[in-house]
Structure 1
Amino acid sequence: MHDFVKDHRRWGHRRAWRNALAEGYGICRETFRRIWREEGLRVLPRKKLKRLAADTHRDVPAGQYPNNVWALDFQFDSTWHGKTIKICNIIDEYTREHLAFTVDKNINAVSVTELLDVACLEHGGRPRVIRMDNGPEFIAHALQEWAAEDETIQAFIPPGQPWHNGFVESFHNQMRDELLEDNSIENLEHARLLVAQWSSRYNNFHPHSSLGYLSPRKYAEQWKQENTVNT
């Protein structure tokens, strides 16, 4: 019986009994069912499907100008004594700027909308698109309502394919290599201080080959100057 269940996790005692008869075991169904129950065997439940956002907009291209597409994602780490730290980051896909972040033990959808509001205030308005995965914080009604206020498009990447959010994935790799791997974090306040210091250095001094070896902040300032002159 146990071997049968191991190989056929979605088959119940009736199919198992039929299989036993075919194998030459002379046992009635009621006796088989009693032994089946005494052994604690059961049909394993189906895996619960992950809820996905209804309107995915997966075909949104990369940002074409500042505040066009913002990418959101979570980064995880822990303190030196094992307590989990969760970081939510927002970057501008066009300028590569680290627009905003929050660090906490838990970050829910309301916290994400508050972080977006902070980023909007500090960077001159809302984005046209926010790109993210199908995590529960991102598909929640609170974020849908926030996006609906100004018709911001929610661009959800395909499940299990983080490379579709490549800008923020690249950013997270840099954050891990340059910050998280090199520091022993004491607590949340220490983590917030370290991320803030690293973010300032990244925005102001980190050269990007794709930006002509300018830092994200310098590139954003150059774009603004050029487009102010042109208008």
Structure 2
Amino acid sequence: MELVAGEENAYGYRKLAICLRRRYNLVINNKKVYRLCKELDILAPQRRINVKHPRRLAVNRKITASDQLWEVDIKYGYITEEDRFFYLMCLIDVYDRMVVDYHLGLSCEGKHAAQVLQRALWKRNLFETDCRPVIRSDNGPQFISHAFEEACEKFSVEHERIPPKTPNKNAHIESFHALLEAECLSRHEFVSYQEAYQLVGEYIRFYNERRIHGSLYDFAPCEFRQRLAAGQLKPFIVKV
């Protein structure tokens, strides 16, 4: 109480604990000082941390068309001869299962996620409309970064994040990564980054343009989109 009444009146319990140990040679820890301060009602008010981009948890949705929900995640690949990893960040449309855009590089940051989002919106001509997809991701550093959150805000895109340890909430991008691992990454021992870039890019084009997909009436994503737009296929609902 003497400390709080004197020059140390602005101190919180941690600094008060230091003063008690140094000035009075008391053997006392921070938790004890916190409890004493609370009992004496002299705890300094806690600072409020203003979160610029509040976290939005993923909610259950019914997807009835393309460009309503996109999932984004990162997959790691290994370059054997160079003994280093590369990063593949893909943005997939939950409805038509197309990899709308991706980033492949030796680094992967929030700015790359922002660039992928911008290119994907441009490819789907969504800057010309007021309808933008919801972006669903995990809590990786790229997706909680200021660069990515500010890009979502700038492009009027809602960003939601799945709870920790719930990859099933991002099931479609996880499914694509499993295919990528089984049909591409596990079949090659990359000797260079250039080779990895080429072969992974070729696989993504194959996946989008030619690989038949059971949930798309046995069509590849590109052909499914074309046939659906022409009214040749019956629309369906995807529950996520």
TM over 0.5: yes
Does 1:158 pair with 2:159?
A: no
Kindly indicate whether the alpha-carbon contact (under 8 Å) linking 1:96 and 1:216 is maintained by their aligned counterparts in 2.
Answer: yes
Number of aligned residues: 177
Please state how far the C-alpha of 1:150 moved relative to its aligned partner.
Answer: 3.5
For 1:186, the equivalent position in structure 2 comes to 191
Secondary structure (helix, strand or coil) at the match of 2:231 reads: helix
- Whether 1:120 aligns to 2:125 is no
Give the 5 Å matches for 1:60-139. Answer: 60-61=60-61, 63-81=63-81, 82-125=83-126, 127-139=132-144
RMSD over equivalenced CA pairs, Å: 2.0
Q: How does 1:172-211 map to 2 (within 5 A)?
A: 172-211=177-216
In the other structure, the counterpart of 1:144 is 149
Mapped to 1, the partners of 2:179 and 2:221 lie a distance apart of 14
TM-score under structure 2 normalisation?
A: 0.69
Q: Is the 8 A contact 2:57 2:163 kept in 1?
A: no
Q: What is the CA distance between 1:62 and its match in structure 2?
A: 5.3
Percent identity, aligned pairs only, is: 23
C-alpha distance 89-62 of structure 1, shift in aligned 2 (>3 A): farther
| Structure 2: runs of 5+ lacking an equivalent | 1-26, 28-50, 233-240
Whether contact under 8 Å (1:60, 1:155) holds in the other structure is no
C-alpha distance in structure 2 between counterparts of 1:158 and 1:145, whole Å: 21
Residue of 212, 221, 233 corresponding to 1:216: 221
Provide the rounded CA distance (Å) in 2 between the counterparts of 1:76 and 1:156: 20
Higher RCO (C-alpha under 8 Å, 6+ residues apart): 2
Partner SS, residue 142 of structure 2? coil
Q: Measure how far apart 1:60 and its partner are.
A: 4.4
Q: 2:13 is matched with which residue?
A: none
Name the amino acid aligned to 1:155. Answer: E
Deviation digits for residues 179-207 of structure 1 (CA, Å, limit 9, x no counterpart)? 00001112222111111111111111111
- Give CA-to-partner distance per residue, 1:34-91, whole Å, 9 cap, x none: xxxxxxxxxxxxxxxxx9x732231042532111111100000110132111111111
For 2:3, the equivalent position in structure 1 comes to none
Structure 1's unaligned 5+ residue stretches are 1-29, 31-50
* Structure 1 Cα separation of the partners of residues 116 and 97 of structure 2: 17
Letter aligned with residue 174 of structure 2:
E
Which deviates the most, 165-174 or 146-155? 146-155
